[in-house]
């Protein structure tokens, strides 16, 4: 472990400035994007106004704006993620803009991988209601997924399967190393937060500094593990994830139907609706001239 920490520290020192500049460039691009979307929102509002404030036009414009905003910010955030990892992973890259140029062609592949990975993990999360083990396993197995993607192991969930194959056989080593690293960061931030309120603000700076070190440590840990001879999708886990997605609407249907059939719930809901209506009526009465007139009458 000491050797990996030393290598991670060397990598961190060599790449921190490049990482910092890549981060600043990405942050600036995010600000410009938000400003651009603000101008687009103003343009859409103008179109809505010129169209006579039609509800259909307004709803369509809101839908189009949300789609453009989500896709645009997702594209940009994916690009920044890839560029920041490359800034530390690839020591041959010296120019900051090269980190973005090198990853530009793989953004859409990364978006597809992120989407599939998110759907896969969410399907498993539903099983965590009964078993918490799947979440722990995949939190460790997927440690090197982004690094595997950058190194060219792509296509669907291939980076995830490669990362899992990389960890298997070294699971406890990876788990213990990551636990030591995260525990050290947690203890440091907790200690500073207990000293003084001023020191608690340093946690932001600490996390900013430790973020590239964590990436550097992950890269060195990744390189210390043997290259898997073969890796393939896990049919059992995919089926389990699909079952999670299938069972979710079924479980929600039974939960809502059982709740709605409960007489006490319906009665309580009716009471809350009535009390809310009475409160609104009282507020309207309190703000009316009749309330002032009745109040003067009672005082006199």
Angle at 273 between CA 268 and CA 275, to 5 degrees: 95
Q: Is the pLDDT of residue 154 over 70?
A: yes
Q: Map out the domains of the chain as residue ranges.
A: 2-251
Predicted TM-score (pTM) of the model is 0.76
Q: Is the predicted pLDDT of residue 161 greater than 90, yes or no?
A: yes
H helices within the chain, ranges in order? 2-50, 55-89, 96-103, 107-125, 133-141, 145-150, 158-167, 171-195, 197-200, 202-224, 235-260, 263-286, 289-299
Q: What is the mean pLDDT of residues 77-92?
A: 90
Please tell me what DSSP assigns to residue 143: T
The pLDDT value given to residue 260: 61
Decide if 220 contacts 4 (C-beta within 8 A).
yes
pLDDT exceeds cutoff 90 at 283: no
Write down the mean pLDDT value for the chain.
81
Asked whether the predicted pLDDT for residue 75 surpasses 50, the reply is yes
DSSP secondary structure string for all residues of 12-36: HHHHHHHHHHHHHHHHHHHHHHHHH
pLDDT at residue 289 tops 70: no
The two structure tokens encoding residue 165: 């194959």
Buried residues in 9-34 as b, exposed as e (16+ CB within 10 A):
eebbeebbebbbebbebbeeeeeebe
Helix (H, G, I), strand (E, B) or coil at 233: coil
In angstroms, rounded to a whole number, what is the distance separating the alpha carbons of residues 206 and 188?
9
| Range in 4-18, 75-89, 119-133, 261-275 with the lowest mean pLDDT | 261-275
State the burial class of residue 125 (Cβ atoms within 10 Å of its Cβ: 0-12, 13-18, 19+): middle
Res 112 pLDDT > 90: yes
The pLDDT of residue 273: 55
Q: Which helix (H) or strand (E) holds 240?
A: helix 235-260
| 255, 248 Cβ separation under 8 angstroms | no
More confident position, 233 or 189: 233
Nearest to 148 by CA among 135, 172, 167, 133: 167
CB 219 within 8 A of CB 9: no
Q: How confident is the model at residue 64 (pLDDT cuts 50, 70, 90)?
A: very high
Q: How confident is the model at residue 195 (pLDDT cuts 50, 70, 90)?
A: low
* Rounded percentage of the chain residues whose pLDDT exceeds 90: 27
pLDDT of 115:
92
| Confidence (pLDDT) at 31 | 93
Residues of the chain above pLDDT 70, percent:
78
Cα-Cα-Cα-Cα torsion 23, 25, 31, 32, nearest 10 degrees, comes to: -160
Task: Place 240 in a pLDDT band, splitting at 50, 70 and 90.
Answer: confident
Confidence band of 74 (pLDDT split at 50, 70, 90): very high
Q: What's the pLDDT at 295?
A: 46
CB of 229 within 8 A of CB of 33? no
**Separation CA 22–CA 34 (nearest Å):** 18
Residue 245 burial (CB count, 10 A): 14
What pLDDT was estimated at residue 134?
A: 77
Please, which pLDDT band fits residue 33 given cuts at 50, 70 and 90? Answer: very high
Average pLDDT (222-238) is: 87
Cβ proximity of 88 and 109 under 8 Å: no
On the question of pLDDT at 13 being above 90, the answer is: no
The half-sphere exposure of 260 on its side-chain side, counting CA atoms within 13 A, is 6
Residue 261 is encoded by which pair of tokens?
């059939």
Highest average pLDDT, of 45-59, 74-88, 94-108, 267-281, comes from 74-88
């Amino acid at each position: 472990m000491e050797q990996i920490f030393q290598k991670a520290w060397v990598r961190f020192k060599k790449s921190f400035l490049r990482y910092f500049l890549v981060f600043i460039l990405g942050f600036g691009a995010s600000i410009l994007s938000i400003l651009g979307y603000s101008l687009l929102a103003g343009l859409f509002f103008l179109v809505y106004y010129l169209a006579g404030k039609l509800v259909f036009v307004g709803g369509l414009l809101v839908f189009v704006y949300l789609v453009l905003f989500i896709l645009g910010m997702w594209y940009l955030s994916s690009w920044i993620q890839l560029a920041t990892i490359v800034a530390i992973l690839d020591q041959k890259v010296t120019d900051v803009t090269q980190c973005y140029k090198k990853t530009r062609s793989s953004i859409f592949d990364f978006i597809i991988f992120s989407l599939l990975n998110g759907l896969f993990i969410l399907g498993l999360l539903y099983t965590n209601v009964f078993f918490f083990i799947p979440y722990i396993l995949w939190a460790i197995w997927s440690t090197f997924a982004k690094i595997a993607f950058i190194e060219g192991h792509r296509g669907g969930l291939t980076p995830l399967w490669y990362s899992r194959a990389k960890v298997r056989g070294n699971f406890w080593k990876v788990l213990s190393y990551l636990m030591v690293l995260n525990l050290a960061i947690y203890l440091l931030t907790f200690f500073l937060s207990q000293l003084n309120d001023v020191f608690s603000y340093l946690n932001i700076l600490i996390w900013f500094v430790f973020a590239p070190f964590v990436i550097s440590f992950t890269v060195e840990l990744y390189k210390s593990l043997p290259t898997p001879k073969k890796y393939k999708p896990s049919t059992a886990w995919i089926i389990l994830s699909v079952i999670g997605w299938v069972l979710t609407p079924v479980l929600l249907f039974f939960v809502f139907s059982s709740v709605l059939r409960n007489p006490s719930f319906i009665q309580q809901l009716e009471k809350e609706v009535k009390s809310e209506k009475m409160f609104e009526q009282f507020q309207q009465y309190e703000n009316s001239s009749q309330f002032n007139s009745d109040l003067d009458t009672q005082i006199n």
